[in-house]
A and B are shown apart, each in its own frame.
Chain A
Amino acid sequence: MLGFIRELERVKGFFQLLLTNKMGLAGLSIFALFAIAALFAPFLHTVDPSKVGTVENILLSPCRQFWFGTDDLARDIWSQVIYGSRISLTIGFLTAALTIFVGSLVGLIAGFRGGKIEELLMRIVDFFMMLPELPLMIVLSAVLGPSIWNIIFVVSIVSWPSTARVIRSQVLSLKERAFIEASRCIGASDSLLIFGEIMPNVVPLMFAQAVLMVTWAIYAEAVLAFLGLGDPLTISWGMMLHFAFESGVMSRAPWWVVPPVASIVILILGFTFLGTAVSDVLKPGYRETRGL
């Protein structure tokens, strides 16, 4: 029980520290904005985003009823943006989680073990890295069919190798440090060394990679949806741009294009700020060196 409370205190402390960092503040605010949109979507002056409206409401510019106007099927753009944040955040987080999990595991084991295992794993990584990302995603999406889960899978497949490479490099240099030799001398087993000693030192890098992955996933989904490979049942921001493009009235309806583009850009920016701040704050002794 006491341990749980101590953990909560630590997490609270971490967030307080994060907020003192300017980038952290900016990143958290942006994330909070979109998170609120995602969580409280039904209460934010929204209607069903895919509900087709009546003919007289087609392509309306922003007005009192439709805050961002309507699209060519009289659907409320504001609602689409709000509900779209759910999709972006979900895809972003799940993809990042999958990529980091697989990539880090491979990087840690390959980097630490060396020898034949490293050779084998790194050749697999090399193979995947050779494949061109966008075409591969397009082909896989086309083959697997359009759905959110497929998108998550496809983006992860394409992204995990670079994480593995990056993590492995850091492991290679950490492996030579004296504290690893010292722990080995005390009697630590290989798995304790990998997961108990090296991994905590790799966590900041994993976070940085995770943020990169979130931003990449959001961007990749937008591209895939724009190309028409997205899930037609869910209207993500990329999907909105796809419809806008297909309709042919893109140049005459800026209120349709600007909100999704702006959302994508701002969300990606927010995560980038957050990532930088988190990796700074996680460095041991951060609190003291800032004079707090």
Chain B
Amino acid sequence: MRWDWRQRSHDMTERRWDPTLREWVITATHRQERTFKPPADYCPFCPTEEDAEYPTAIPEPEYDMAVIENGFPSLQPDPPAPAVESTDLFPVEAATGQCEVVLFTEEHDGKMSEQPVSRFVKLVKLWRDRYEKLGAIDDHEYVYIFENKGEEVGVTLEHPHGQIYAYPFVPPKIERELESSDQYLREEGRCLFCDLIDSEREDGRRIVAENDSFTAVVPFHARWTYEVHVYANDHVPSIADFTAEDERNLGNLLNEILQRYDALFGFEMPYIMATHQQPTNGDAEQYAHFHIEFYPPYRTGDKLKYPAGSERGAGTFINNKLAEEGAAELRNAI
């Protein structure tokens, strides 16, 4: 049947199965219309001033931290029916789930590396709340906490913020990690990530920062020049398993990582931040291990690393620097 594009809904989300890579692809057509780089005076994430002509997305004149329902969600609690019919070879399902935006501060120009450690500790507590609340919903298999920071990684709103997607499936990169750790557990009797971080701490060459609960390293297999992974030192499957000391220590280490990033080249480092942890369907407690991954796109102070033919077309990253050298530079940045 020929597709008539004029019949398409303007608020259409669905997920389509790619049988070649065995992963879902989400289509969210309304995201073409999302707010794109508005001037600071029209920022939707700033508080609504008392004499404002138009309200922002925040209906109060001040706030500390806030979570708002994403105005242009890729996943929705009650999504529309898919635009095309599902077949055996081309499965399509409704894009069920939840998308939230996390506002780190009410300050539009608030530089996170200059925020006190307490703001990061608050953020960890907020993340934990959302992981637990969104994860308790039956439709949600994985609560993904992430941040896109900087124009270089495609950010369309400057106000300091992160995002949370509650997926109805375990996303493929996390699923592959968990399969590797599951296999390692069955073969070696230990969590893969526990052994990785123990080895990194013993070796020391790739460590960027550490405290009693967490260690930040440029991973042995870093894809990005200044990629950093923050691992829980002990076997902690998810943020829901944190002690109060863990919350403080993660806040402390995140603050330090951002300071090191911003000091490295003398400007606010853009990055993608991704949290990997136990799926909220309860699986993988023995082999899921909480960690956060940072992917900054700069390979020098004035050159970006573009994932291109080998990275996007073949799935093989080429790093321009030894992980040991990248870690040393970050250690010496402050």
Do A and B share a complex? no
B binding-site residues for A, Cβ under 8 Å: none
